[in-house]
Structure 1
Amino acid sequence: MKKNSLLFIFIGLFLIACHNDYTPKPKAYLRLDYPAPKYQTIKYDLPFSFDKNIIADPLILKQLNSDNLSYGINLNYPDLKGTVFLTYKAIENDQKNLNDFLRDAQKFTFEHTKMADEIPAYPYENRKQRVYGMLSVVKGNVASPAQFYVTDSTEHFLTGSLYFQTRPNYDSILPAASYIQKDMRHLMETLKWK
Structure 2
Amino acid sequence: MRILVGCIIIVSLLTGCETSTFVPKPKGYNRIELSPSQYVPLPDSFPYQFEYPQATTIILDKSWISERYWIDLHYEQYNADIQITYKRVNNSRETLVELLQDSYKLTSEHGVKAYSIDESVLRLPSGMNATLMELSGEVPSQFQFHVTDSTKNFLRGALYFKTSTANDSLRPVIDHIKLDMVHILNTLKWDE
Q: TM-score w.r.t. structure 2 length?
A: 0.80
d(CA) in 1 for partners of 2:120, 2:163: 26
1:42–1:50 contact (8 Å) kept in structure 2: yes
Residue 92 of structure 2: aligned partner: 94
Structure 2 stretches lacking a partner, 5+ long? none
| Cα deviation 1:71-91 (Å, max 9, x = unaligned) | 210111111121111111111
Amino acid at match of 2:78: L
CA contact (8 A) 2:92 2:151 kept: no
1:160 and 2:152 are equivalent in the alignment: no
Rounded Cα–Cα distance in structure 2 between residues aligned with 1:103 and 1:109: 10
Aligned to 2:182: 185
**Relative to 1, partners in 2 of residues 1:94 and 1:26: Cα closer, same or farther, differing over 3 Å?**
closer
Q: Hey, what does 1:109 align to over in structure 2?
A: 107
Provide the C-alpha distance between the structure 1 equivalents of 2:26 and 2:165, rounded to a whole number of angstroms. Answer: 25
Give the superposition deviation at 1:53: 1.4
Q: Percent identity?
A: 31
Which position in structure 2 is the counterpart of 1:48? 48
- Partners of 1:10 and 1:99 lie apart in 2 by 87
Would you say how many aligned residue pairs link Structure 1 and Structure 2? 187
Q: In structure 1, give the amino acid aligned to 2:101.
A: R
Q: State yes or no: 1:131 paired with 2:90.
A: no
Q: For residues 85-142 of structure 1, what are the alpha-carbon distances to aligned partners after superposition, in whole Å with 9 as ceiling and x for unaligned?
A: 111111134332111000010111122223212221121233x635332111101111
SS of the counterpart of 1:175? Answer: helix
- The CA RMSD over aligned residues, in Å, is 3.1
What is the one-letter code of the residue matched to 1:79?
Q
Mark the runs of 5 or more structure 1 residues left unpaired by the alignment: none
Q: Is the 8 A contact 1:71 1:88 kept in 2?
A: yes
